[in-house]
Structure 1
């Protein structure tokens, strides 16, 4: 056989094996990033229950922000998504089986310490346009245009915005008649 024939056969076999393997892996990664999957772990269930009553699920716009939207890189960033998902999955399984009792507050602190403003700014892009909220605009300006040594994270101020123990968060847009997201499955 000629060298190019052998090379073509090897490339063809590689594609036939690699494509389904990659597709199944990607599908599994995305399916295990749903709120329902996250809630299947008893340690995380309180966070998912709190998320369901937050404005990231119940809001006037009808937008539902899932766990992976904040806690993982976007799936379009394939390598970063696979790495982060694999790392957190392995870490969580090891902690579940080998560590002592789950410390929810310690886990929350660790998650917030790892948060990057880019995670929030994937959706919240126009932070400086708040004509009726001068204080909020000035606070956001100190994050967007932070001076060296004075950097802030979104979660410094918005600490309990999503994973709160307060029940339905009563922000201005939900004060009158809270919007309840449709189609969410019960945990």
Structure 2
């Protein structure tokens, strides 16, 4: 009788081996997944598409890239959240950039410029919605030494904080060229 029960079920040894295999596969998957995430956060990966080379050229002329301290912000520092959940959302939604590159929507400087206003506003809206979360991974109200700032900057930062503004409310165009607002005629043409 005892022998029949043993042969009908899975032995503890087999269960343990199955657990070890699944656990090991999970570790391998997690490792490869993190390697993939890291690879897609590099400046080289981000600027591999022709349209993103425009952004890189602009960034290279700003204080976020070249400065006295030698600290440079990368694409991921400003455009990819640090926390896992928001990072996954950003990575999934990034498909549209690749899609528009392949579709030819933004594959030349001229086409890119035609869409710059809309693209910038989408980024600005996202930054407002998350209280400039990626800016705050380097810059924080609490760590600002207002006394070391010019009087104008000190007054503006103090007012902005009191008014509940976020970084992007005042610092548009800090890392990329700020687009001109389209004329009403341009907007009407797009809608036709």
Whether the TM-score (by the shorter chain) exceeds 0.5 is yes
Q: Pick the aligned partner of 1:106 from 105, 113, 118.
A: 118
Q: What CA deviation, in whole Å up to 9, does each residue of 1:38-75 have, x standing for no partner? A: 1111121111111112111111111111111111112x
Contact in 1 for aligned 2:81/2:133 (Cα 8 Å): no
* Structure 1 length-normalised TM: 0.72
* Aligned counterpart, 1:153: 166
Q: Pick the aligned partner of 1:139 from 156, 161, 184.
A: 156
1:50 matched to 2:63: no
Contact in 1 for aligned 2:124/2:168 (Cα 8 Å): yes
Q: CA deviation at 1:2?
A: 5.6
Q: CA deviation at 1:7?
A: 3.8
Q: CA deviation at 1:141?
A: 2.5
Contact in 2 for aligned 1:128/1:140 (Cα 8 Å): no
What is the number of equivalent residue pairs in this alignment?
158
* Aligned counterpart, 1:81: 87
d(CA) in 1 for partners of 2:169, 2:25: 47
* Aligned counterpart, 1:66: 74
d(CA) in 2 for partners of 1:122, 1:12: 38
Q: CA deviation at 1:111?
A: 1.3
Unaligned runs of 5+ residues in structure 1 are: 166-187
d(CA) in 2 for partners of 1:159, 1:79: 26
Over the aligned positions, Cα root-mean-square deviation in angstroms equals: 2.4
Q: Pick the aligned partner of 2:176 from 158, 163, 173.
A: 163
Segments of 4+ moved more than 6 angstroms: none
Contact in 2 for aligned 1:43/1:104 (Cα 8 Å): no
Q: CA deviation at 1:161?
A: 1.3
* Structure 2 length-normalised TM: 0.70
d(CA) in 1 for partners of 2:51, 2:155: 37
